[in-house]
């Protein structure tokens, strides 16, 4: 998952994902014979280094994308459309197998996809007393299992049950080796269309670009700062890999050595994106800055309560500052980079950095208009991951005029994730009220 820039900018249409095989098809007209392309596909394309890292024991990560819809999901319609969209993408119609000719490295091998093995429809009783809790438990139970390698590594779970914020829920489970967060998001959204214009793809905000004069705009000073900050980031990465750890707090995972193979609990909350933009405009900052500030404020409230629970004066848990001095809490941003020291070493380094930090953080921009997934109007979108080392993952996802924050937690570390959701929501309200009270908007 990658962080993205500000949301306030011009629209940008989704672009298709390019692979070596799809690129080969495009140059077929330039002299490449169809039989040559077919032979390449049968032989299989090797997994990228990053894709292979996600198969290491300590870094086996899955993407979970929860989508709520305003109507019940028509399973037959979804199946029929998947045949002509998602399955056209090689990675969703290929197995990942070891290549005995290349030292056991993994490669993509095209296969015939049986949708009945990928679309899971559990039997649900509509008399369930708490549908929200049932859906939450179902999604969390997915983190206890892994997808069988005898089929392409993705699943779609359809829960046709009404919850407090949707008439039905669909859950995509995709192995992270199939792509990074933004590419998987683009692929899933490519299966959607605008409700107002059923023939149009969703549009995402794009960063405003300009070509200012280097001297007048202070571009030279900006470049110097960029180089300096890059050097500091590299040094901090090396220090974190070798010895620098976050402060041990109730959010720490105890520096587990076994990886992130523990069950996760996924909870989410939707707030107003307009409130976040109001804070952004008042403080003259970015949406990324606002959501980071809300996260820090929410975590401070949560930790203050947890530390206060150990004190005798229970009535002062939230009124007093119970936080110890000099707490260091850092967040890891999951990025796609090409490792050079070897897969096992790179996976070990990634895992060690994650194990020495407290939080995994991500902010992904979503569609600016209401969309439908094969004709099903979407109410919300809440992606996350499991398999990482940290006990807490905070993911922000925008959709139209909403912002959904999703928590992926290790319940041994955070037994009350809904309370943390409340703290994040309250922190947003307090920050907004403070901006208004100071007359900044």
Q: Is the pLDDT score of 79 beyond 80? A: yes
Q: Compute CA distances 415 → 239, 310, 358, 419, 429, whole Å.
A: 31, 16, 16, 9, 24
Higher pLDDT: 319 or 169? It is 169
Q: Compute CA distances 125 → 70, 122, 130, 244, 358, whole Å.
A: 20, 10, 11, 50, 39
Could you tell me how many residues make up the chain? 441
Most confident of 47-51, 207-211, 342-346: 47-51
Assigned token pair, 49 = 């280094």
Query: Using alpha carbons only, how large is the chain's radius of gyration in Å?
Result: 23
The percentage of the chain sitting over the pLDDT mark of 90, rounded to a whole number, equals 46
- Averaged pLDDT for residues 158-187: 90
Q: Is the pLDDT score of 120 beyond 80? A: yes
Q: Is the pLDDT score of 41 beyond 50? A: no
pTM: 0.80
Most confident of 58-67, 104-113, 329-338, 409-418: 409-418
Q: Is the pLDDT score of 93 beyond 80? A: yes
pLDDT digits (tens, 9 = 90+) for 293-318: 999 999 999 999 998 887 766 555 55
Higher pLDDT: 23 or 177? It is 177
Q: Is the pLDDT score of 7 beyond 50? A: no
Q: Is the pLDDT score of 194 beyond 90? A: yes
Rounded Cα gap, residues 241 and 227, in angstroms: 21
Q: Is the pLDDT score of 21 beyond 50? A: no
Higher pLDDT: 2 or 90? It is 90
pLDDT bin (cut points 50, 70, 90) of residue 54 is confident
What confidence score (pLDDT) does residue 60 get? 85
Q: Is the pLDDT score of 245 beyond 90? A: no
Query: What is the DSSP annotation of 339-406?
Result: --S-HHHHHHHHHHHHHTSSEEEEEE---SS-EEETTEEEEEEEEEEES-SSSEEEEEEEETTEEEEE
Write the DSSP symbol of residue 99: E
What confidence score (pLDDT) does residue 45 get? 82
Task: Give the range among 50-59, 321-330, 368-377, 395-404 with minimum mean pLDDT.
Answer: 50-59
Residue 171 forms beta bridges with which residues?
66, 157
* 176 belongs to the catalytic site: yes
Write the DSSP symbol of residue 151: S
Q: Is the pLDDT score of 161 beyond 50? A: yes
Tell which residue, 179, 180, 199, 135, has the closest CA to residue 380: 135
What confidence score (pLDDT) does residue 350 get? 63
Task: Give the range among 46-55, 57-66, 89-98, 420-429 with minimum mean pLDDT.
Answer: 46-55
Question: Collapsing DSSP states into helix, strand and coil, what is residue 69?
Answer: strand
**Marked catalytic residue, from 55, 89, 118, 176:** 176
Rounded Cα gap, residues 371 and 185, in angstroms: 13
Write the DSSP symbol of residue 198: T
pLDDT digits (tens, 9 = 90+) for 351-389: 666 667 788 888 888 999 999 999 999 999 999 999 887
What confidence score (pLDDT) does residue 384 get? 94
Q: Is the pLDDT score of 276 beyond 60? A: yes
Q: Is the pLDDT score of 129 beyond 60? A: yes
Query: Is residue 164 packed enough to be buried (19+ CB in 10 Å), middle (13-18) or exposed (0-12)?
Result: exposed
């Amino acid at each position: 998952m990658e962080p993205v820039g500000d949301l306030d900018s011009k629209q940008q249409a989704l672009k298709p994902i390019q692979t070596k095989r799809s690129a080969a098809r495009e140059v077929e007209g330039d002299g490449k014979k169809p039989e040559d392309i077919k032979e390449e596909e049968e032989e299989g394309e090797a997994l990228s280094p990053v894709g292979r890292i996600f198969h290491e024991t300590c870094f086996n990560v899955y993407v979970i994308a929860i989508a709520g819809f305003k109507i019940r999901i028509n399973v037959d319609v979804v199946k029929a459309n998947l045949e002509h969209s998602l399955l056209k993408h090689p990675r969703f119609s290929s197995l990942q197998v070891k290549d005995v000719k290349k030292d056991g490295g993994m490669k993509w091998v095209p296969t015939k996809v049986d949708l009945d093995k990928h679309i899971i429809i559990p039997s649900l009783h509509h008399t369930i007393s708490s549908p929200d809790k049932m859906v939450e438990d179902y999604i969390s139970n997915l983190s206890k299992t892994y997808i069988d390698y005898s089929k392409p590594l993705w699943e779609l779970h359809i829960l046709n049950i009404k919850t407090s914020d949707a008439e039905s829920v669909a859950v995509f489970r995709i192995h992270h080796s199939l792509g990074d967060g933004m590419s998987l998001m683009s692929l899933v959204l490519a299966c959607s269309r605008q409700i107002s214009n059923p023939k149009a793809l969703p549009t995402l905000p794009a960063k405003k670009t300009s070509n200012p004069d280097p001297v007048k705009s202070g571009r030279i000073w900006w470049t110097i700062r960029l180089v300096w900050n890059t050097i500091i980031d590299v040094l901090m990465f090396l220090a974190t890999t070798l010895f620098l750890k976050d402060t041990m707090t109730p959010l720490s995972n105890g520096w587990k050595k076994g990886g992130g193979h523990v069950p996760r609990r996924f909870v989410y909350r939707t707030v107003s994106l307009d409130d976040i933009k109001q804070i952004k405009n008042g403080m003259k900052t970015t949406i990324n800055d606002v959501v980071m500030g809300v996260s820090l404020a929410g975590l401070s409230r949560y930790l203050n309560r947890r530390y206060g629970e150990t004190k005798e004066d229970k009535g002062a848990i939230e009124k007093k500052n119970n936080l110890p001095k000099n707490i260091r809490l850092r967040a890891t941003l999951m990025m796609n980079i090409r490792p050079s020291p070897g897969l096992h070493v790179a996976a070990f380094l990634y895992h060690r950095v994650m194990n020495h930090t407290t939080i995994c953080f991500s902010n992904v921009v979503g569609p600016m208009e209401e969309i439908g997934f094969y004709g099903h109007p979407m109410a919300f979108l809440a992606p996350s991951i499991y398999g990482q080392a940290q006990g807490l993952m905070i993911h922000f996802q925008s959709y139209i005029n909403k912002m959904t924050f999703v928590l992926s937690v290790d319940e041994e570390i955070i037994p009350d994730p809904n309370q943390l959701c409340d703290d994040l929501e309250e922190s947003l309200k307090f920050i907004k009220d403070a901006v208004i009270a100071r007359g900044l908007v």
